[in-house]
Amino acid sequence: MIKVGIVGGTGYTGVELLRLLARHPEVHVEAITSRSEAGMGVADMYPNLRGHYDDLAFSVPDADRLGRCDAVFFATPHGVAHALAGELLDKGTRVIDLSADFRLRDAEEWAEWYGQPHGAPQLLHEAVYGLPEMNRETIRQARLVAVPGCYPTAVQLGLIPLLEAGLIDVEHLIADCKSGVTGAGRSAKVPSLMAEASESMKAYGAAGHRHLPEIRQGLGDAANQPVGLTFVPHLTPMIRGIHATLYGRLTVEPGDLQALFEDRFTNEPFVDVMPAGSHPETRSVKGANLCRLAVHRPGKGDTVVVLSVIDNLVKGASGQAIQNLNLMFGFAENAGLEAPAMMP
């Protein structure tokens, strides 16, 4: 049994960590922090967790207390983990960051996209990008893991097989992606209100979204060369879920694309390649740490279309964070993550 802490426990990813860890056989949540809600019981804020965390209350972040944990999750806005991650690592605590603080390898690029200087550039050299389907063995040895973003997870898993096989034009990739409103976080924002988001859909960040450099970095690793990507996210009137429709232009005759995807992910516990002709639905992964994929070649032409769906709060955030924890501590990779998706 290991002890873990959660910094930033009142947002959607924080409560999702608590929900999933309640079923984890090897983890005890020792501390959960929130400056604004310090002293409030977890079960008072989240009644769905009554009976699981009745003795746990939110507290202000304390490096000494967190440093006594084996691992600490940061479920915080960008910039927060910079200030505390190094101190915790010095105490021997392993850090799993769900924010964007350590995803980009270039501190100057991070500063350009996030509008502030990088607060811990000295840690970037050891931060491991936590996409298990690409970096499983490196994650096992990591002290600091940067959990991928939700859009980047869906896009990378959908395009990795094609890029690794060298089948598509790497300069003209397209990712047309839709997200539920929880992707915007729990704080009150007018565009995320039900009266504003319901019965409507809109694109945003078409000229450049913060996830773009992260996706390009990961796809470039898969292709072993820089890639060109057009990435357009959309807000849809649903609570959870991401649907990514991905387009690539074939540069060679690809053979059996269905077999390519099935072979690439055959040993991946959290990637489901659906039968040929399928169209995966976001509701089929709701609450599950799972990416469902389908690959199509319309009219047997030179375009390949990949459909990728995940739950943005689970495989796109907290579930993937726990998947990384399991790898780092030698637990079964599916520990705490065995539950199937919820329907309806």
> What is the residue-level pLDDT of the chain in tens, covering all 344 positions?
999 999 998 889 999 999 999 999 999 999 999 988 888 999 999 999 999 999 999 999 999 999 999 999 999 999 999 999 999 999 999 999 999 999 999 999 999 999 999 999 999 999 999 999 999 999 999 999 999 999 999 999 999 999 999 999 999 999 999 999 988 777 767 877 778 888 999 999 999 999 999 999 999 999 999 999 999 999 999 999 999 999 999 999 999 999 999 999 999 999 999 999 999 999 999 999 999 999 999 999 999 999 999 999 999 999 999 999 999 999 999 999 999 999 88
pLDDT at 141 (0 to 100)? 97
Q: 85 in helix, strand or coil? A: helix
> 196: burial class by Cβ within 10 Å (0-12, 13-18, 19+)?
middle
Same domain, 86 and 159: no
Residue 321 is assigned to a structural domain of this protein? no
The first and second tokens of residue 106, run together, are 């270039």
Domain containing residue 282? 150-312
Angstrom distance (rounded) from CA 56 to CA 58: 7
Q: 305 in helix, strand or coil? A: strand
> Amino acid identity of 305?
V
Same domain, 305 and 176: yes
pLDDT at 286 (0 to 100)? 97
Instruction: Indicate which CATH number applies to the domain containing 82.
Output: 3.40.50.720
Cβ-contact 243, 158 below 8 angstroms: no
Measured CA angle at 148 (ends 147, 154), to 5 deg: 140
Handedness of CA 25, 26, 30, 36 (dihedral sign): negative
Element (H, E) at 12: helix 12-21
Give the residue numbers annotated as catalytic, written as ranges.
Answer: 150
Same domain, 219 and 260: yes
Angstrom distance (rounded) from CA 105 to CA 124: 6
pLDDT at 188 (0 to 100)? 66
Angstrom distance (rounded) from CA 163 to CA 228: 12
Same domain, 76 and 171: no
Per the listing, tokens 């049994």 go with 1
Question: 55: closest CA among 45, 42, 66, 68?
Answer: 42
Same domain, 195 and 282: yes
Angstrom distance (rounded) from CA 12 to CA 9: 8
Same domain, 194 and 303: yes
Strand partners of residue 327 = none
pLDDT at 9 (0 to 100)? 86
Same domain, 158 and 302: yes
Element (H, E) at 219: helix 211-223
pLDDT at 193 (0 to 100)? 77
> Amino acid identity of 230?
T
Same domain, 104 and 191: no
Residue 145 is assigned to a structural domain of this protein? no
Same domain, 58 and 156: no
Strand partners of residue 7 = 33, 74
pTM of the model: 0.96
Strand partners of residue 248 = 304
Q: 108 in helix, strand or coil? A: helix
Handedness of CA 196, 205, 117, 58 (dihedral sign): positive
Could you list the beta-strand ranges (E) of 165-213.
Answer: 173-179, 202-203
pLDDT at 343 (0 to 100)? 87
pLDDT at 191 (0 to 100)? 76
Residue-wise DSSP of 95-134: EEE-SSTTT-S-HHHHHHHHTS--S-GGGTTTPEE--HHH
Residue 317 is assigned to a structural domain of this protein? no
Report the domain count for the chain: 2
